[in-house]
Amino acid sequence: MSRHVVCAADELPPGSRRTAFVDGREIALFNVDGRLHALLNRCPHGGARICSGIVTGIAQSSGPGDYRLERHGEFLRCPWHGWEFELATGQSWCDPRTTRLRNYEVRREAGGNLVKGPYVAERYPVVVENDYIVIDI
């Protein structure tokens, strides 16, 4: 596992998303109300780049006549066929048994902790006083 600095924290404010290439992979990053999520930017169903999917909740029902929209902001709906994935785990809501969207550890770290790391100095112009988004691959 290796640690990668993706961007400065203020480049991914709450409510925003972006993509980044890390280790040859395209990663979609989401900041939903301060919670950070990093997912491989390719839907396991039909290959869509899920970065343009809709962040949503999940409609639940215990039977006809009872409908609730729950867990708002915890799911990503693929921009093509609409499969839903749990942002925090990558778990598919349609087919949890066999389908899963690859997800990665992502967190915010202070620049001061990063400058000594092997990946930072060569590849990114790091300004030490800021916070950075870091992902583990």
Partner 1 sequence: MNAPFREQQARQTLAVVDCDIHPAHRTPGELLPYLEPRWREHYQTYGVHVRQALSSTLMYPRMMAAGMRSDALPANGPAGSDLEMLRKQHLDPVNVEFGLLMALSKGGMEERNPEFAAAMSRATNDWQIDRWVREEPRLRAGIVVPQEFPEAAVAEIERCAADRRYVQIMLSSRPSDPLGHPRYWPIYAAAERAGLPIGLHPVGYNGGHPSTGSGWPTYYLQEHYVFVACMEALAASFILGGVFERFPGLKVVLVEGGFAWAPALAWRMDKHFDKFRKEVPHLKQLPSDYLRQHIWWTTQPIEEPEQARHLVEIIDWIGWDRLLYSSDYPHWDYDNPSFSFKFPMTEAQRRKIFRDNAMALYRLS
Residue given tokens 């100095």 in the structure block: 121
Name the residues that contact ligand FES, by CB under 6 A: 43, 45-48, 78, 80-81, 83
CA distance 7 to 62: 42
Q: Provide the minimum distance between the beta carbon of 42 and partner 1 in the complex, in angstroms, as a whole number.
A: 9
Coil vs helix vs strand at 57: strand
Coil vs helix vs strand at 37: strand
- Give 4 or 77: the residue with its C-beta nearer to ligand FES: 77
Residue 90's binding partner out of ligand FES, partner 1, none, with CB under 5 to 8 Å set by partner kind = none
Nearest-CA neighbor of 113 among 99, 94, 134?
134
- Give 52 or 60: the residue with its C-beta nearer to partner 1: 52
- Encode 95-114: b = buried (16+ Cβ within 10 Å), e = exposed: eeeebebebbebeeeebeeb
What binding mask, one character per residue, do residues 16-45 give for partner 1 by CB under 8 A, x or -?
Answer: --xxxx----x------------------x
Residue 49 binds to partner 1 (criterion: CB under 8 A): yes
Q: Provide the minimum distance between the beta carbon of 47 and ligand FES in the complex, in angstroms, as a whole number.
A: 6
Residue 13 binds to partner 1 (criterion: CB under 8 A): no
CA distance 92 to 2: 26
Residues found near partner 1 in the complex (CB under 8 A)? 6-8, 11, 18-21, 26, 45-49, 51-54, 79-82, 124-125
